[in-house]
Amino acid sequence: MGYRHINCAQVYGNEKEIVLVLKRLFQENVVKREDLWITSKLWFIHWPVKMKKGSEGFKPENLVPVDILATWKAMEKLYDSR
């Protein structure tokens, strides 16, 4: 189809299928990895909330606020440590 941006996230439930398709496309030399932009979202970073411990499902009563700045700083620390 010509898509070059692949959008993944655990909540989308598409990661396994995307991996299988990309593996085949790479093996068949249909596309190179460096020609793709693959986005995978760290759970709840693109929402300013987190889940209550032990809760199930993405429902308002299961969500609590999160300190986004502290989370961002922790992600930068992880990036810098690689």
Q: Do residue 2 and residue 34 come from a single domain?
A: yes
Task: Give the pLDDT confidence of 3-14 residue by residue, as tens digits.
Answer: 799 988 877 888
Instruction: Identify the pLDDT of residue 46.
Output: 64
Residue with tokens 């189809």: 1
Q: What is the pLDDT along the chain (82 residues), one digit of tens a residue?
A: 677 999 888 778 888 899 999 999 999 999 999 999 988 877 667 666 778 888 887 788 888 887 888 888 988 998 899 8
Residues 17, 21, 6, CA angle at the centre, nearest 5°?
A: 75
**Residues 34 and 52 grouped into a single domain:** no
Report d(CA 82, CA 69) in Å as an integer: 21
Give yes or no: residues 37 and 54 share one domain.
Answer: no
Q: Provide the domain count of the chain.
A: 2
Rounded Cα–Cα distance for residues 41 and 10 (Å): 8
- Domain coverage including residue 31: 1-41
- Catalytic machinery residues: 12
